[in-house]
Amino acid sequence: MAFTEERIRGIVQAQREFFGSGATLDVDWRIRQLKKLKAAVIEHEEELEAALYEDLGKSRTEAYLCDIGPVIVEVNEIIRGLKKWARPERHFSGLMCFPSVTTTVYKMPYGVSLIISPFNFPILLTLGVLAASIGGGNTAVIKASSKSAASTAALAKLISGIFPEHYAAVINGGHDIADLCLAERFDKIFYTGSPAVAKHVLSEAAKNLTSVALELGGETGNWCVVRKDADLADAARKIAFFKLTNAGQICININQIAVAQEAAEDFLTLLKAEFVRQIGERAEDNPDYPKLITDAVYEKCERLTEEYRDRVVYGGTGNRETRRYSPTVLYPVGIDEDVVRHELFCPILPVVPFPDAEIGRIMETIADREHPLSMYVFTSDRKWAKSVMSSMQYGGGCVNEVCIHMMVKGVPFNGTGHSGMGAYHGEWGFREFTHPTTVLTGKTRFNLPLREHPYSGKAGERKMALLKLFER
């Protein structure tokens, strides 16, 4: 059945009525739904892996490592922590509120949530967000990507098999269907995708003043900085692994590398050797190497490669039939060239050389551009690394490592500015899908006239003296 305006409106209304019944407020009930979700993911593991292979050419191992396994980990974390996170907080109201000295903060669900998920990790970035929504006590309408059609179909089957439509529903379709969803009034919207589309999502959400969380790749991409004192072999090994993962179609992936001139040739030699070691001489011939999501992305890789053909030092080949395009290293690239001024979201990897003594200038240039979702630095100078990572604006990152900061339990995954707003994973996801409601419990006896008129004369002077005493 096609998703029309009337059908989508009916789903939203049914979810609003179900939320209004209060069923989702019970924390034990939420935990039961999370356990259903986990069991369904495990039961449908092979179907999900097959869908990821059809959409993105992901091997079984990569599908589990990057999409399916992390969902189970995320759900487990929420199940274990939910009762503690959802517990109302008790606060002392302070002398200013005497005799009403007890205040409670309730963690309230928003209501009906809209989750708009992307194609690149269609299972993780749908079900991981859904788990946070469930943990927060919301219902969910899921607009899954039409580009990853097999995964969306698998998700629809999984969700409909465990949840009624008035609680959680998967909606399939393109941008027109997404706009029909955005035209409805939701209480929370969680969008993962590009900054350009995020602006449209925010604009539509603003019409109803709907709370929005955004996880974006960043307008100008994620930088990796390799200093001359770095362990070059270690850096090359980790960077090669990361660029091969999902063929570079990752919001936190390295978009471009800035490498010290003094180490550039050695680093490139090691990087090329690592690509060969990990994927073979021709990545596009290896069935374990993922494919690009559409012909348009493949053609973008071809276009960029031809534009920089004289500076391709590795890769630059592909297989149009399978849509596999090899990791392609461009060197040298100037820091102001167009290819390093926007997110690539593909296997193309520009490398910008710089004199190590001018690292301050390079970091200033990076800081002047739009905030990235991730930042990576490789260096043996821990003091410099700490100074940089604690002073720049970006979502998250690593020192002498790549990507695994998002796998750490108990910490947020988020962006800032053009790389997003809000945060999730574990308790941070629970916070994102709830709003704190403060309630003071008043007393009917021993109330002081401190706040009441008169404010002048002797009475006013006494009140001023007490106010200043209480506010110390």
3-class SS at 89?
Answer: strand
Torsions phi, psi of 411, nearest 5? -120, 155
Compute how many other C-beta atoms are within 10 angstroms of the C-beta atom of residue 449: 9
Active-site pick, 181, 224, 251, 301: 251
Distances (CA, A) of 221 to 196, 210, 255, 286, 358: 13, 28, 5, 27, 21
In whole angstroms, what is the distance from residue 54 CA to residue 304 CA? Answer: 26
3-class SS at 170?
Answer: strand
Find the distance separating the first CA and the last CA of the chain, reported in whole Å.
65
Compute how many other C-beta atoms are within 10 angstroms of the C-beta atom of residue 355: 12
* 346 belongs to the catalytic site: no
* 215 belongs to the catalytic site: yes
Active-site pick, 74, 184, 204, 215: 215
Counting runs of H as helices and runs of E as strands, what totals does the chain give? Answer: 16, 20
The helix or strand, by DSSP H or E, that contains position 91, with its residue range, turns out to be strand 89-92
Among 345, 315, 342, 355, which Cα is nearest to 331's?
A: 315
Strand extents, DSSP E, 110-263: 112-116, 139-143, 168-171, 188-193, 211-216, 223-226, 256-260
CB 78 within 8 Å of CB 108: no
Question: Residue holding tokens 């809000």?
Answer: 422
Active site positions, annotated: 215, 251
